[in-house]
Amino acid sequence: MVSSYRKPKLPSSILRAGEVALIGAGPGDPELLTLKALNLLQQADVVLYDYLVSDEIMELVPESTILVCVGKRAGHHSVPQEKTNQLLVEFAQSGHKVARIKGGDPFVFGRGGEELQVLAAAGIQFQVIPGITAAAGATAYAGIPLTHRDYAQSALFVTGHLKPDADDMDWSTLARGNQTLVIYMGLMKSDYIQQQLLAHGRSNAVPVAIIERGTQRSQKVLRGQLSNLPGLAQQAESPALIVVGEVVSLADELSWFEREHDEVQPNQRVASQRA
C-alpha cells in the first residue's frame, strides 16, 4: 500500500502594526532568503533597507510598500545611524508594520543589536529573523569549506574596519594555522591585514581568496597567496570578503557556482528608484 503524500502546512508569522521585524537578507541570492523573512517582508508597509540587500530580493517587496534606503556603501552618502534609529522608532510609533532588512545576518557585523536596543528603550515590539551570514554563503558558493578535517578545525569571523592607532585585535590568534580567517569589509585595509598576519607568524604562502558579491550571479572570486593580498584587493570592489587559510586551495576541486552561471547576467533593475 502506497501512502499519499500530504504537503505540510507551514506556520505563518504575523507582523503587527507598530512592530519592527529585523530581517537578515542573506548574502545576495534571493533563494537563500528564509521563508519567514519573505513572509514578513511582504506584510510590511514600510521597509528600511541597506545597499547590501540585492536588487533581486528588493524585487520581492510589494509595489505599494514604502522603501527607505538607509544603507552604507563605499564612496556613497549614507544615512547616519542615529537617523536610522529615529526612523525606525517614528514609523513604528505611527502604527506602521516595519521591516528593517539587512544584508547577511543582522547580528553579524550588522549593528542589529544596537538598533534593537533603541527600539527596546522606546517600548517598541520587535522580532528577529536570522539570515545566512556572508562568510557562510559566499564561501559555499566559491567552493571553500569553512572547516575541513585536514585543513581547518575552526573558523574566525572579524571585521576589517581597523584603525592602526587603535587596533585591539589579537593578531597572534588570528595568525594561527589550522583555521580559516574570514574578514568582512577588509579591502581598504588589505595592506595592514597582510602586514599583521605576517608579523605574527602566518606564512606568506598561505592561500587567500577575495569573494566579491558572493552568491550573486555577478560573483567574482580572486585567489592567490597572502604575499599578494594587497594586489588582489586592488582588483576587487565592495562588497567583498577576504578568506585566509589552507581551505582556499580546495576551490580548485569544489568550485561550482561560477561555472554554472558564468554566462548569466545579473538583474539590472534598481529597487532604490522606487518611491
Show which residues are catalytic. Answer: 50, 72
Q: Rounded to whole angstroms, how far apart are CA atoms 69 and 272? A: 7
Identify the three-state secondary structure at position 213: coil
> Are 85 and 120 within 8 A, CB to CB?
no
CB under 8 Å to 190, separation ≥6 — which residues? 229, 230, 232, 233, 242
Q: Rounded to whole angstroms, how far apart are CA atoms 195 and 71? A: 31
Q: Rounded to whole angstroms, how far apart are CA atoms 142 and 49? A: 26
Give 210-213 contacts, CB < 8 A, sequence gap 24+. 210/235, 210/236, 210/240, 210/241, 210/242, 210/243, 211/138, 211/139, 211/141, 211/142, 211/144, 211/240, 211/241, 211/243, 212/236, 212/237, 212/238, 212/239, 212/240, 213/28, 213/239, 213/240
